[in-house]
Amino acid sequence: MSNGFLKVAGEKVVDGKGNSVILRGAGLGGWMNMENFITGYPGHEFQHRAAMLKVLGKEKQEFFFDKFLEYFFQDADAKFFASLGLNCIRLPFNYRHFEDDMNPRVLKESGFKHLDRVIDLCAKHNIYTILDMHTTPGGQNPDWHSDSGSSYAAFWDHKDHQDRTLWLWEQIAAHYKDNTWVAGYNPLNEPCDPEHWRLPAFYDRLEPALRKIDPNHILWLDGNTFAMEWRYFDHVLPNSVYALHDYSLMGFPTGDRFKGSADQLAKIEQQFLRKCSFMQERKVPGWNGEFGPVYSDPRMDSDAEEINQERYNLLGAQLAVYDKYQIPWSIWLYKDIGVQGMVYTDPDGLWNKTIQPFLEKKRALQLDAWGKYPSKEVADVIEPLAKWMDSIAPEATKTYPTSWPTQRHLVRNTVETFLAQSFAVEFANLFKDFTMEQLDEAAKSFSFERCKQRGGLNKIMSDHAEIHKKNAAA
């Protein structure tokens, strides 16, 4: 039984009895908001689902995806998660589970089927959940995980996209307004407004609209530009926590390797403090909604063990910073096919064995942005073009997100969109001749009993969850 609704009290989150609650856990990415690197397909989720429909037909496609959602998180997952001392799961979802673009503002009640199930499973094991609209109508950021099919975040230029998002949150708030195990709502994941001011303006519209329906739940509000910037945030909304995302390039194949030097440790803390400057200045709670390195595959990297130990060391260094400032956190992510998850599908299981040759092709062509490895083949095409563009159009270097060089913009618009979507049917064809039983087995590859556990990662998280528990009790 919960201790009532969580709420903001000064710089802390407390329960209904006034006890401090420091949430620590993980995001259930790849589940109700699928991502290419998490389950293996190329491009965007809506393209993947369309390709599977084309290849499998309606009955088999609907059967497979329903089974996938069922097996991806079950009671065994919640029990394991709680056993590590973790107490919160962030639940990303795609708006398309609840509303169709061709039938807007008509609620699909079926969208609540698996969301309700997982929220209830988590509650059974004393785990809070934060509901995260990871994908909005029009797309709120230029990356693959907003599932728009392009790098254009149309959400910001079309009021109707914003109105539909607000409407959908009203439906979700009405559904969960009495659930005390729901820790609150994360309205937009990693928003990227090129003009910056429209994000806080949207939050100013959303907050009073939701409070009329649900006066109790916390709003967990991401900063701009992938939850890293706070321009035009000039006031604090009531009962709200402000969220940053704190990835370190040292946790990725294209970044410097982490050696634990004084300079690297200082950089980790400085990066974190920059991202949470608004929260510290305004003395409001902050939440690190995403962070975490990716891990090396020993089948593909001869020095995988050494690399992964460095990544664990990096993670430990980041968590030490979060312990110092007593900030709640949610690592990315809980489960995948072996890139980043606490739990991952068996390399010898049906799903991974079926898609492994395709994964090697994706890696060579850099079809996925996340965790990609250097590719001379791609670089030889993109780098000269980027250099030429910068030389003839210097303004190109100022394109938002300005943290992206021209090369990154080009890869996103060509390799990760046009090229990647061209492989969607090829991926779906891997399952063309599967029977219903085989599709069930493929989906079951994601069940906890069939998965492997990343022991090094889970031990570090459990150790730091214990530190948080002691700090909360202090």
Catalytic residues: 190, 290
In 3D space, the residue among 256, 278, 260 whose CA is nearest the CA of residue 318 turns out to be 260
Start-end of H helices in 261-303: 262-275, 277-282
Task: List the beta strands (DSSP E) in 151-200.
Answer: 182-186
Find the angle CA(69)-CA(308)-CA(130) to the nearest 5 degrees. Answer: 35
SS3 content of the chain, % helix, strand, coil (to 5): 50, 15, 35
Task: List the beta strands (DSSP E) in 148-296.
Answer: 182-186, 218-222, 240-245, 286-290
Q: Which string of b and e fits 31-61 if b means at least 16 CB within 10 Å?
A: bbbbbbbbbbbbbbbbbbbbbbeebbeeebb
Question: What phi, psi does 181 have (nearest 5°)?
Answer: -85, -10
Side chain identity at 107, as an amino acid letter? Answer: L
Number of alpha carbons in the 13 Å side-chain half-sphere of residue 375: 19
Find the angle CA(109)-CA(166)-CA(202) to the nearest 5 degrees. Answer: 160
Side chain identity at 398, as an amino acid letter? Answer: K
| Cα dihedral: 20, 24, 29, 31 (round 10) | -70
Tally of residues, the chain: 474
Find the angle CA(110)-CA(112)-CA(116) to the nearest 5 degrees. Answer: 140
